[in-house]
Structure 1
Amino acid sequence: MSDKKANAIAYWKENIKYLSILLLIWFIVSYGAGILFKDALDTIRLGGFKLGFWFAQQGSIYVFVILIFVYVRIMNKLDKKYGYDEE
């Protein structure tokens, strides 16, 4: 196997690992906080709204947007690490 192909395989393995972690975080926030843990979170108020309701309506969207920026930052570092930032 050539070095270039081995480099590409390692790059994609690491990319999939980061993507899986970020999607798991989003799932936990959107499904967990908005549905599974809603009753427990509703005991806390945020801006006059119950926290479980807030996560179901807006919080998961905010977390998703933040995760997009985190993903961009991680991918920029990953591109530099594997030499794909030059193209």
Structure 2
Amino acid sequence: MSGQDSDYWRANVRIILICLAIWAVASFGLGIVLRPMLEGIMVGGADLGFWFAQQGSIYVFLVLIFVYAWLMNGLDRKHGVDE
């Protein structure tokens, strides 16, 4: 594998790990671990911790899908592997 290929995959894996970390914080962190701290904040009739556990992590995941696609398109163009 050439140096440019290595740079491409290193950047790709970094983007994936950052997206996974954000999703883990949103779903596990805010929905489970930090739920007691978010108990008094109301969103749509439910406290914020419950909202993140039920819906918020899904919304974060959907946003991350679009952000990942946008970032990967830019990375592909940068490395000359775009379609």
| TM-score band w.r.t. shorter chain | over 0.9
Alignment RMSD (CA, Å): 1.1
Q: Partner of 1:73 in structure 2?
A: 70
Q: Partner of 2:45 in structure 1?
A: 48
Deviations 1:26-85 (A, max 9, x none): 001100000010011111001111111000000001100100000000000000000001
Aligned AA (1:31):
F
For structure 1, the residue ranges without an aligned partner over 5 or more in a row are none
Aligned AA (2:17):
S
How many residues in Structure 1 have an aligned counterpart in Structure 2? Answer: 83
Q: Distance in 1 between matches of 2:38 and 2:69?
A: 30
TM superposition outliers: structure 1 runs of 4+ over 6 Å? none
For structure 2, the residue ranges without an aligned partner over 5 or more in a row are none
Q: Partner of 1:62 in structure 2?
A: 59
**Overall identity of the aligned pairs, in %:** 52
User: Among 3, 7, 10, which residue is 2:4 paired with?
Assistant: 7
Q: Secondary structure at the match of 1:59?
A: helix
User: Among 26, 29, 40, which residue is 1:29 paired with?
Assistant: 26
